[in-house]
Every structure is written in structure tokens, then in C-alpha cells.
Amino acid sequence: MGTDDWLADTRTSYDTVATTYAGQVRGAVAGHPYLRSVLALFADLVRTAGGGPVADMGCGPGHVTAQLHELGIDAFGVDLSPRMIDIARRENPGLRFEVGSMTDPSLADGSVAGLLAWQSLIHIPDDEIPAVFGHFHRALRPGGPLQLLFHVGTGSRVKTEGYGGHPMKVHVHRRQPEQVAAWLRDAGFTVEAQLLLNPDEDASQAILSARRQS
């Protein structure tokens, strides 16, 4: 499958489920103590590094972007789905959101003070991840923090239905934190911390905190 194929399928799928998805994730961060804590930590790391604009890549309906804004961070959101961006703009009229892909982001070199990608890398194939991390590294200022949240496991599956029973066609990739950390190091990041959420359950997730080397 070519890049255009899976990107088009992912865009169409999330356009289809956007309204239902937004309703399900609204308040998800506020109701999860670990996610609240790691997001607050990320905000502190951005401030410690000097502050500035922060990119929320794969922002969906903008709920994490809005949470960062409440923490005093100059955050903006980028998502592949135009419908998701429409919802994000409507629900957060004071914030900036734009349609874009992390496979070819329109971010100038060194233009962001921090970058966050929560549950958006799960749709990127393995062979595209090094290039995506290269884009992240290029866009971040030296010393800028990066935070990732992703599904833990091995293998991939095609999700054909979700979020209220709507049809979808997206590849969901589960990965081991050690593999993601290795890709980050190869791209020029220093990995600073790792946290596993629900490690004894099938739906385990990992958070990796890294920093662009100066």
C-alpha cells in the first residue's frame, strides 16, 4: 500500500467518525490522573526550555490542545482530518488548528518549542516512522521536549468499525517502547523517561518523553 492510500483511508475514516469520536474523548484527559500529570509535566518542560509555540500533532477534535492551553501553553493543533479540524475550531474558537499530515508537516525549521503526538503515531506504518521523527526533530528548537503516547504491543490490524459503529479503514500499529525509543535516538533525540499505563492489561499504552539534542 502506498503512502497516499493509507493516508486517504485514515483521513476518510476520521472524517466519518469525527462527531462521535469528539463526544467520546471530550474530558478524557481531565478524567485520567496519569494523563493529566504527564501533560502538566510536558508543559513544565516547555516552559523550562524557554517557552514558545507547541504543536499537537494528530490533534483530533482539539481536546489535548485545549488542555495545554489551560496549562498556559501556546499550543496549536494539526490533524489529517478536515472534519476533526472543523470540530476543533468550533469548540475552541480562540485556538489555532490546521489540516496537515505529520508525514509532510508545514512546520518551519526550529519553529516550535515543544511537540506532542498522542495516539496519532498508531496509524503510521513502521517504514514511515523514521521520516516522521526526522520532521519532528527538524521542527523542534534545540532542547525542545517531545512527548509521545501510543499503544503497546506487537503487530498491526485493520480497524473496520469504531466510535459508534461507523465504518473505518485504518491500520492500527502496536509497538514496543524500546523500538520507538530506538527510532527517536536515531533521529537525534535523547529519551528521558518512559511510563507504561495499565501494563497488566491488553490495552496497555506507553508515554515516552524525549528532547531534541542541542
pLDDT value, residue 29? 85
Rounded mean pLDDT of 46-52? 97
What integer best gives the mean pLDDT of the chain?
94
Q: Delineate the domains of the chain, giving CATH numbers in brackets.
A: 3-212 (3.40.50.150)
In this prediction, residue 139 carries a pLDDT of 98
pLDDT band at 201 (very low <50, low <70, confident <90, very high): confident
Average pLDDT over residues 44-65: 97
Contacts of 38 (CB under 8 A, 6+ apart): 147, 195, 207, 209
Residue 1's pLDDT band, with cuts at 50, 70 and 90, is low
Secondary structure class of 97 (helix, strand, coil):
strand
Written as nine digits, the cell of 51 is 517557552
Record the cell numbers describing residue 99, joined without a space.
Answer: 489540516
List pLDDT tens digits, range 111-126: 999 999 999 999 999 9
How far apart CA 58 and CA 51 sit, in angstroms, is 21
CA 18 to chain centre: 16
How many other β-carbons are positioned within 10 Å of the β-carbon of residue 16? 19
Burial class (CB in 10 A: 0-12, 13-18, 19+), 33: exposed
Digit-coded pLDDT (tens) for 147-173: 999 999 999 999 998 888 889 999 999
